[in-house]
Amino acid sequence: MPSQTVRHDALPTPPSSAARAHCVDLDEHDPLAALRERFSLPDGTIYLDGNSLGALPRATAARVADVVTREWGQDLIESWNSAGWIAAPRRVGDALAPLIGARFGEVAVADSTSVNLFKVLTVALRIAHEDTGRKLVVSEADNFPTDLYIAEGVVEQCGDGAALKLVPATASDARAAAIVAALDPSVAVLMLTHVNYRSGAMHDMKRLTRIAHESGVLVIWDLAHSVGAVPVDLHDADADFAIGCGYKYLNGGPGAPAFLWAHPRHVERFRQPLSGWMGHAAPFAFVSGYQPATGVDRFLCGTPPILSMAALECGIASLKDGDANPMRGLRAKSIAMTALFIELVEAHCGDAMLLATPRDPALRGSQVSFHARGAIAGRGYAVMQALIDRGVVGDFRKGATDDEDILRFGFTPAYLRYVDVFDAVTTIADVVASGSFRDARFDVRAAVT
């Protein structure tokens, strides 16, 4: 590759030792510092990818091993009763409920985020069509792709005028206005992700839900990048449905079960489309004909994945530290850490990184994204691979053009330290300044980016 001329006045400068000492002091006075000991983190790694896959709680391996060797290995099928396997979807849902502003008995943990979205979107469209005759779903063009794929499938199945309308991607400060403008009298359901997976921009859930309801529109919220990272109160927001995953900030492990919530005013109105035996009113009666269970249990489908449920239960417990709803403290630390990261990157990385995340903490989740510019323009993937090689783990998301490529950094306050933020920026500045990302091995694309 031809050499690239770089302006020396634009090269990153290393952060000062005084600034690092300040970060060490912040860690020493951090009221959440003890939470870090609940996680198993590799030596020499600064993990800034908890928005993709959370770290391993120390309790998880022993708990899963106990389920395998004792509950399964010794007690065999009796564990469905003696170990409470059959109640896992509701029990884990009840543990999760305080983190999203739900009540006891309202959350079911089951299946994947995509499958749960299929369930609630189908039900929401049925309710909207019965009440208003509408069948149009509105979402954002830059919503997480699987949500849009599921919506395409749902409207195709519904047929007869059902359609999906996408609000074009726009600047973060104009997103809400564009969505509101799209809520005309033909709209049945508004389907949004609370925190955008690429930019980290966060919607005002309560305000948008209220405006949608004023237009007769039901609202579904995807909380995949919210739960465990930012406070959510579904009842206060008067949301209609919510879904989300368990393997990001909940630290439930790869492929952890997802969750589903339906407002009590909707939950009994329709049976969900995947009428499997666990959603039956009496699954062990083995009768012909489907009769949905009462409450959120009717949104269950197949047999719960017990090993994964046990891991997710540990992940949720690892956040709480005796507090049923620890989100206020976690959110305060998240805001402080992301603000520090933005300040340090902008101060020490010259014109190489352009902030893509809202600067206002009220408008961002617990991640910070940057566009690659200047010396690293068009080389975002290679830069991230070079960072990972140096022990700073974030991730890369490809945009429609090189200018839209994103370097993402997720901040999980339960196990990250302020000194990790400082050291990560020191490494970023060095990778950019040294040009080490130009090594050809960093251009080799892996299956997962």
CA distances from 27 to 17, 55, 249, 321 (A): 15, 19, 21, 18
Q: Are the beta carbons of 167 and 179 closer than 8 angstroms?
A: yes
Please state the pTM of the whole predicted model.
Answer: 0.94
| pLDDT given for residue 1 in this prediction | 33
Task: Please state the φ and ψ torsions of residue 257, each to the nearest 5 degrees.
Answer: -60, 155
In angstroms, how far is CA 9 from the centroid of its own chain? 38
Q: Which of 38, 90, 198, 248 is catalytic?
A: 248
Right CATH number for 84-320 from 3.30.1360.120, 3.40.640.10, 3.40.50.1460, 3.50.30.60? 3.40.640.10
Is the Cα torsion angle 67, 316, 52, 146 positive or negative in sign? positive
408 is catalytic: yes
Q: Which residues contact 132 (CB under 8 A, 6 or more apart)?
A: 188, 216
Q: Token pair 């959350």 is at which residue? A: 107
Give me the DSSP letters along 45-71: -EE--TTTSPPEEHHHHHHHHHIIIII
Give residue 350's pLDDT: 75
Query: Can you give the pLDDT at residue 320?
Result: 87
| Assigned architecture for domain 8-58+326-443 | Alpha-Beta Complex (3.90)
Please indicate whether residue 333 is annotated as part of the active site: no
Residue ranges for the chain with pLDDT beneath 70:
1-16
3-state class (DSSP) for residue 448: coil
Specify whether 144 is catalytic: yes
Q: 39, 47, 144, 442: which one is catalytic?
A: 144
pLDDT of residue 14: 56
Instruction: Examine the residue annotation and report whether 165 is marked as an active-site residue of this protein.
Output: no
Amino acid at 288: S
Decide: 97 and 242 in contact? Cβ < 8 Å: no
Q: How far apart are CA 31 and CA 333, in angstroms?
A: 9
DSSP string, 344-364: HHHHHSTTSEEE-S-SSGGGB
Candidates 49, 111, 142, 222; catalytic one:
222
Domain-wise residue ranges, the chain:
8-58+326-443, 84-320
**Residue 326, exposed/middle/buried by CB under 10 A (0-12, 13-18, 19+)?**
buried
The residue annotated as part of the active site, out of 135, 175, 397, 408, is 408
- What tokens were used for 16? 């000062």
Residue 13: what pLDDT? 53
The residue annotated as part of the active site, out of 247, 249, 409, 418, is: 247
Residues 6+ apart with CB under 8 A from 356: 198, 199, 200, 369, 370, 371, 406
DSSP calls for 299-333? G--S---HHHHHHHHHHHHHHHTT-S-THHHHHHH
Report pLDDT for 346: 95
pLDDT at 305: 97
Asked about 320 being catalytic, the answer comes back as no
- Per-residue pLDDT of 125-172, as tens digits, reads 999 999 999 999 999 999 999 999 999 999 999 988 899 999 998 877
Distance CA 238, CA 214 (A): 12
